[in-house]
A and B are shown apart, each in its own frame.
Chain A
Amino acid sequence: DAGVTQSPTHLIKTRGQQVTLRCSPKSGHDTVSWYQQALGQGPQFIFQYYEEEERQRGNFPDRFSGHQFPNYSSELNVNALLLGDSALYLCASSSRGGSYNEQFFGPGTRLTVL
């Protein structure tokens, strides 16, 4: 049973560029959340997708956008990259309905903005 997968593993971009990160949820999961983790800090919630719609959003600017596909996989897009966007981006999947289920995290994509 494959867990949460993310691609790419590492990415280097320059300021002003755009980036797309990808996530495939754990089998049987239908909800995907994205988190940003700056060096030495705890993860910060960016947004969550369910049924191909953004359901919740954290305190992030509109430069951060996402998408969820019919197979539940998801993309995170960041436009006009800033140096401060350098971080580990974590994807987490879970299943809606019934009792709350813990989120399973992927290995993350480390983005470096130069």
Chain B
Amino acid sequence: AQKVTQAQTEISVVEKEDVTLDCVYETRDTTYYLFWYKQPPSGELVFLIRRNSFDEQNEISGRYSWNFQKSTSSFNFTITASQVVDSAVYFCALSEAGSNKLTFGGGTRVLVKP
């Protein structure tokens, strides 16, 4: 069975600080995909990034970066120079190859104060 754990329930930072969100996952599959979604107060889940299990290269996309480590089953996400608009709940999710079913973590609420 798949499982995603986000140990941080809430993080509060001051604008321009960096924020790192932790995600640990469990799966028996050798091929899988990892995601980060953002859920603002409006409720709609917004896709941020995707990574497949064969690509451990860490990248940066604008103010977003991620650290994928298969050895520790972790997929952490960093927002650099946070802004008030980044305030939202962030979800880490896992999907098996060949399946569009997403298994979500419990979410981390990020509050960015001006």
Residues of A within 8 A of B (CB): 31, 33, 35, 40-45, 48, 56, 58, 88, 90, 92, 94, 100, 102-108, 110
8 Å CB contact of B33 from A42, A100, A104: A100
Check A103 against B102 for contact (C-beta < 8 Å).
yes
Residues of B within 8 A of A90 (CB): 45
Could you say which interface size class chain B belongs to? Answer: 20 to 34
Contact A102 B107 (CB under 8 A): no
Please judge, given known A-B contacts A41-B107, A43-B91, A100-B33, whether A105 and B101 are in contact too, CB under 8 Å: no
B interface vs A, CB < 8 Å?
4, 33, 35, 37, 42-47, 50, 52, 91, 93, 95, 97, 99-107
Contact of B100 among A48, A58, A110 (CB under 8 A): A48
The residue in chain A whose Cβ has the minimal distance to the Cβ of B103 is A45
**A-B pairs with beta carbons under 8 Å apart, 12 shown:** A41-B106, A41-B107, A43-B45, A43-B104, A45-B102, A56-B99, A92-B102, A100-B95, A103-B102, A105-B47, A107-B43, A108-B43
Residues of chain A lying within 8 A (CB to CB) of residue B107:
40-42
- Contact B106–A31 (Cβ < 8 Å): no
Minimum C-beta distance from B64 to chain A (A): 15
B109 → A minimal CB distance (Å)? 9
